[in-house]
C-alpha cells in the first residue's frame, strides 16, 4: 500500500501512517526508508514523536533506542515490530504485515 512519497520523507524525515489497524512510523535515516511500529513496546508512546540519534530511533517516553532495521531495543530483549518497505518511482509502499527477523537479525 502506498503511504508516502519519497519527496515528502526527504523533507520531513518521518511520518506517521495508519494502515488498517496499525500505526506505522516511517523514518528516513541515512538515505534509507524504514517502517517501524509507531507504538512503543514499552509504554505505547509514539516513536515518530521521538528523535533520531546515531541512526537509532529514540522513544520520547523513556529514551529506549531502537534499531530501525530490526526494531530491537538497545541492550534489551524487547523488539519493536518492523515492516517491509518498497520504493517505486518515488512512492513509498509498506507491507502491513510485520516482518519476521532473519536469522542474522535475531
Ligand atoms: S514508552 Fe517508549 S521507552 Fe517507555
In this prediction, residue 92 has a pLDDT band, given cuts at 50, 70 and 90, of: very high
22 strand-pairing partners:
19
User: Which domains occur in the chain, in start order?
Assistant: 2-94 (2.102.10.10)
Ligand 1 close to Cβ of residue 66 (< 6 A):
no
* Cα–Cα distance, 50 to 65 (Å, whole number): 10
Question: Is the model more confident about 104 or about 37?
Answer: 37
Distance 58 CA to ligand 1 centre (A): 9
Residue 20 has pLDDT above 90, yes or no: no
Q: Is the CB of 59 under 6 A from ligand 1?
A: yes
Q: Is 65 helix (H, G, I), strand (E, B) or coil?
A: strand
Structure confidence by residue, pLDDT tens digits, 23-39: 999 999 999 999 999 99
44 alpha carbon – ligand 1 mean position (Å): 6
Q: What is the pLDDT of residues 25-83, one digit of tens each?
A: 999 999 999 999 999 999 999 999 999 999 999 999 999 999 999 999 999 999 999 99
> Residue 100: pLDDT above 90?
no
Q: How far is the CA of 89 from the centre of ligand 1 (A)?
A: 35
pLDDT at 106 > cutoff 90: no
Would the pLDDT of 105 be above 80? no
CA nearest ligand 1 atom 1, residue? 43
CA pair distance 1, 74, nearest whole angstrom: 30
Q: Which atom of ligand 1 is nearest to the CA of 60?
A: 2
69 grid coordinates: 532495521
pLDDT at 35: 98
Amino acid at each position: 500500500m502506498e503511504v508516502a512519497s519519497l519527496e515528502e520523507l526527504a523533507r520531513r524525515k518521518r511520518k506517521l501512517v495508519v494502515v488498517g489497524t496499525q500505526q506505522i512510523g516511517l523514518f528516513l535515516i541515512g538515505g534509507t526508508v524504514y517502517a517501524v511500529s509507531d507504538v512503543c513496546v514499552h509504554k505505547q508512546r509514539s516513536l515518530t514523536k521521538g528523535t533520531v540519534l546515531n541512526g537509532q530511533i529514540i522513544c520520547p517516553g523513556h529514551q529506549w533506542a531502537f534499531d530501525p532495521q530490526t526494531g530491537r531495543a538497545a541492550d534489551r530483549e524487547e523488539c519493536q515490530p518492523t515492516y517491509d518497505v518498497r520504493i517505486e518511482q518515488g512512492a513509498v509502499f509498506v507491507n502491513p504485515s510485520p516482518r519476521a527477523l532473519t536469522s542474522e537479525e535475531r
